[in-house]
Amino acid sequence: MKQTIILLFLCLSFPLWGQQESVQPVPVETSSEQVRIGGQVYYIHLVLKKQTLYSIARHYGVNIDELKKHNPQLAEGLKEGDRLKIPVVNGHVFPNYTQPLPAQPAEDKNSTPVPEPAPATPVPAAGEAPPQLQPDVTTAQTPDLPKLTRCTFLENEYQRDCAEQVYDPETKTYRVALLLPFDIIPALSATLADTLRELTIDRLHASDNFVEFYAGALLAVEDMRKKGFSLYLSVYDVKNLDDILHHDQLRHADLAIGPVYTAVQNDTTSLEKFLSYARERQFSVVSPLDPKVESLLPGNPVLFQVPPPLCAQQEKLLENIPQKADRVLLIYEDGGNEEELVNDYKTLLEAKTDSLIIFHYKVEKGLAVRDTLLTMLHPDKRNHLVVASNNEALVSDFTSNLSYIQSILKYPITLYGQARWRNFENVDLSFFHHMNLHLSVPFYVDYQYENVRQFVLRYRLQFNREPSQYAFQGYDVFFYFLNALRAYGKEFAPCLSAMHLNLLQGNYVFRRAASGAGYLNTGSCLVHYTPDLIVNRN
């Protein structure tokens, strides 16, 4: 049987260091948190101490006026702990902080403050009969913005017989290319066994996420080799795509995983260029980490995006609400800045129920809001409460009030929240469990699963460290697509919906975005906080 071969092609460039001493800017790190609002993708940036509007704007490639436009709260000044919406600039290359910053311009001190929101309507008295829709419990009060395009435009397809092929590793070896922006290249041998031995703790670094991804991928390759899969793996350190497009192994690839970014260094068209190269040579390209490639799916049937879009996560969150549910409430922040998120959930919920109640919640109402909630909830039937907010203060206040209704008055409640809630530090987690909280997230590692425990043990033994989410992602992406090659050959795309695998941290459900377009993963994970204080993945 043929042996798995790994080749590593190094395309390195070395900076020339100047003689003058550089002024180090206040460090701004690229946020890993992104949201899609009204078709626009935003970074959600947490402002740290001593960061400035100038340094933040420069890092993300936007101007200060643009920042203020999307973040009205900046009229009162930038404060540590602020969460800023920053539009994603396609092709922007994040600054190299070994270079000095230009002089910082003076910030405008005369900006007009944002007006205070209008006073809320009076709270109904305790014990009042449940209103159909009272002044502060009405769909008419929902911000009137265009509805977002839903994931329903995605189509499933079965274009041919998807029976698994008879695969013979003695006669067929698949060629796979992995393109990652390594910062530190470990010295690798040609054989997989030697590679696994040499990629140990002294060659892995906590900040080197892509080496973690690579390490997870190697374990998937090893598992596929044990299943009798013959693979020729070429690994490229991507510094400049033009430097690697001439390699024979890449020209004859059956599948490429990466590049992980839409742009490489100063080449803003790098992924588009690579997709054109892949279309010409008829091999598929998997984008394993970047949700921004969704904009490149039209016209690129060879492209597969692994991170699911926000709309798919929202649909997953609400899928267990019964069509004829007696009580469905949509709660959002009075005076908040998440109108698009509210409209998004409103669109989905109106399709599920004719009796949707919408409540704009005001934290300053204190305990009085509890009485208002009681007028809307049923004491005996299941109440489904969807909170369209990422405001930690609101979530803390709301769950505290709701906990009393659930634990003392024994109202049956199921709560639906946002993925970001998992990172809240000032919310009592016991509230989440008591109220059967459900969250929808792109990926989630449930350490109760046997395959997850086995992977962790293997990773510890091999690399002498704990696997990060990048390691889990590397394993899942490689295990999934190598199985697709083995089962259906190079033209696996139409048959992915027939393939069901037990992955470590996600559910892959690939759907074609439109005729002639690429494929988008619409699978996501439902995380459930159970009353017996367990968190599991459904």
| Percentage above 90 pLDDT, the chain | 25
Over residues 155-163, mean pLDDT: 60
Is the predicted pLDDT of residue 303 greater than 50, yes or no? yes
Higher pLDDT, 261 or 517: 517
pLDDT attached to residue 75:
85
423 sits in the region (left: phi over 0; alpha: psi -120 to 50; else beta) called alpha
Which tokens in the block code for residue 178? 């992995």
As a whole number, the mean pLDDT across the chain is 76
- pLDDT tens for 370-396 read 888 888 888 888 999 999 999 888 898
Which long-range contacts link 414-419 to residues 24+ away (Cβ below 8 Å)?
414/382, 414/383, 414/384, 414/385, 414/438, 415/385, 415/387, 416/317, 416/318, 416/321, 416/384, 416/385, 416/386, 416/387, 417/387, 418/387, 418/388, 418/389, 418/390, 419/313
For 164-216, what is each residue's pLDDT tens digit?
888 888 899 999 999 988 754 443 333 444 444 444 434 444 346 788 899 99
Q: Which residue has the higher pLDDT, 145 or 471?
A: 471
CA atoms 393, 399, 402, 408: torsion sign: negative
State the residue for tokens 């279309």: 279
List Cα–Cα distances, 487 to 156, 232, 482, 500, 521, in angstroms: 19, 17, 9, 11, 19
Query: Which one-letter amino acid corresponds to residue 186?
Result: P
Minimum mean pLDDT range among 188-197, 410-419, 440-449: 188-197
Q: How far is CA 244 from CA 9, 80, 235, in A?
A: 8, 43, 11
Residues in Cβ contact with 441 at an 8 Å cutoff, skipping those fewer than 6 apart: 313, 419, 422, 524, 525, 527
Q: Record the tokens describing residue 35, joined without a space.
A: 């949201």
Confidence tier at 7 by pLDDT (50, 70, 90): low
Average pLDDT, stretch 17-35?
Answer: 55
Q: How many residues does the chain have?
A: 538
- Which residues are within 8 A (CB) of 370 and not within 5 positions of it... i.e. 6 or more apart? 401, 404, 405
Q: Which residues of 175-214 are buried (b: 16+ CB within 10 A; e: fewer)?
A: bbbbbbbbeeebebeeebeebbeebeeebbeeebbbbbbb
| Residue 2 scores a pLDDT above 70 | no
Lowest mean pLDDT among 168-177, 211-220, 255-264, 443-452: 255-264
Q: Which residues pair with 359 in a beta bridge?
A: 331
Q: Is 115 exposed, middle or buried (0-12, 13-18, 19+ CB in 10 A)?
A: exposed
Higher pLDDT, 101 or 96: 96
Confidence of residue 475 (pLDDT cuts 50, 70, 90): very high
- Report the distance separating Cα 168 and Cα 388, nearest Å: 52
Q: Which of 236-245, 442-451, 460-469 is predicted least confidently?
A: 236-245
What is the set of domains in the chain, with CATH numbers?
34-87 (3.10.350.10), 139-149+312-441 (3.40.50.2300), 174-307+447-516 (3.40.50.2300)
Q: What is the pLDDT of residue 244?
A: 82
For strands 34-37 and 40-46, give the pairing: antiparallel
pLDDT band per the 50, 70, 90 thresholds, residue 80: confident
- What is the band of 528 on the pLDDT scale with cuts at 50, 70, 90? very high
- pLDDT the model gives residue 516: 84
Q: What pLDDT is stored for residue 111 in this prediction?
A: 40
Percentage helix, strand, coil for the chain under 3-state DSSP, each rounded to 5? 35, 15, 50
